[in-house]
Chains A and B, each alone.
Chain A
Amino acid sequence: MSITTMWKNSSEGSDRLEYLQNLVTEFQDTDNEEAKEQVLANLANFAYDPKNMEYLRELQVLDLFLDMLTEENENFVEFGIGGLCNLSVDPECRDTILHNSGISLVTNCLSSQREETVLSAITTLMNLTTPLSRAEITDPAILQCMLRFSLSESPRLRNLAGVFLQDCCAKEQVAQTEQEMHGQQTAVGIPLAEGEISATLSPSVHSLHCG
């Protein structure tokens, strides 16, 4: 590699961090909600590239995303959980999320009115599954929720819930939860109301508490 190439790369690396830092600073300093949404979306999209993950960890953007999950603004929640979905594939990011009680925060997003938020939450939970966290992630309440999702009108929701139940849970666990839910399932054939999935959930799932 030439010297100029090395120089360009190192300059690019520091510029990249500086740029991300500017985004985070703007998010923290501005009161404009629209600007916050734009910056949050930027950060969440940057989180998709593994090259940025280290910098985002350093800038504590993970904490920022986790904080967004309890916001009133649904865009904040959707972009925040999207960013976590993108970052949580990285093992170090995953561990950071787990250490910050991420499972309970992400689980709450399963009750969101927005499909994208729910989809990101399911994927994030799958990414957060480790031998240590599996017990918490496959809590019966979450399994019931996933079973309902697997009967949803939305194909994406059905597929993701199906992958969750097949890959993250033991068959016996799923069978047992199904038996407990027998007779309570009301999701079959109920169409989604204007894209909102919560209509298919029973009140017990709406008040889902975990952790």
Chain B
Amino acid sequence: MKITALLVLKCDPETPEPVILANVSDLSQFGKFSFYRSNFEEFIVFIARTVARRTPPGQRQSVKHEEYKVHAYNINGLCAVGFMDDHYPVRSAFSLLNQVLDVYQKDYGDTWRFENSSQPWPYLKEASDKFRDPAEADKLLKIQRELDETKIILHKTIDGVLARGEKLDSLVEKSSELSLASKMFYKQAKKTNSCCTLL
């Protein structure tokens, strides 16, 4: 049960790319050292932006990508994105994202609408540690809004989130925020995962 990353983004219809307001990642799976750590971090940011941009306000989405599930929840332009593993219950993930958005609003009010860069936000790290056990996230269900009528869409692949004709491969290739090294890392990861398929 893992929370690999939690991010808060500003999804403004004015700005083309969502702005990352806060970002925490747990890369302990890579050990103290890894050749691929920085590539992976770049990718988290890239995927988070890609998914957040395509999550309209009032919507929740879950996307399966490689061995992760990416969950996004947009409330009025403030979007929380979580990268969890396949084992972490989707339901609990959204409880957590809901909580993250609530606390962010409490801490920052509406000032985030004018924010254009990422700031350290201690609660995010706390949340990432505390809610590693989904049972903790489930406790939140009792105090969260009962009427959460926000629509949820579950996608089996990230191409499902993209517009018709768009493919992740080409977005990666065209991206100016991904280094050459990360683009190569993406291709290698795809190849490694293609030898075993889930039925």
- Real complex partners, A and B? no
